[in-house]
Amino acid sequence: MTRVTTERSDIATLTEDEEAWVRHSETLWRKAHAIATANPGVDPGDVYHALRSLELPPAERLHRGLTRVRRRPHHG
C-alpha cells in the first residue's frame, strides 16, 4: 500500500484510503455542525451518525436499527 502524508500535523502517515476516509468524515462533520446550528437543540453527533448511516445499504441500516433498539418504559 502506498502511504501518504496529509497537510495536518495531527494525523499520522495514512494510506490513500485512510486519508480519503478522514477527509470524507471531516466533510460530514462540517455538514452535521451546519445542520445542528440551523436546528437548535439538535446534537451534531447525532446528525453525523445519521449522515453516516445514510451511506449504508437499506438492509444494513435496518439491521443496525433493529439491533440497537433500547428498552424504554412504556408510557401510556
Reported as a single tens digit per residue, the pLDDT across 1-56 is 444 444 555 567 899 999 999 999 999 999 999 999 999 999 999 999 999 999 99
Residue with cell 462533520: 29
* Whether pLDDT at 72 is above 90: no
Q: What contacts 30, CB < 8 A, 6 or more positions away?
A: none
Going by pLDDT thresholds of 50, 70 and 90, the confidence category of residue 75 is: low
pLDDT of residue 71: 60
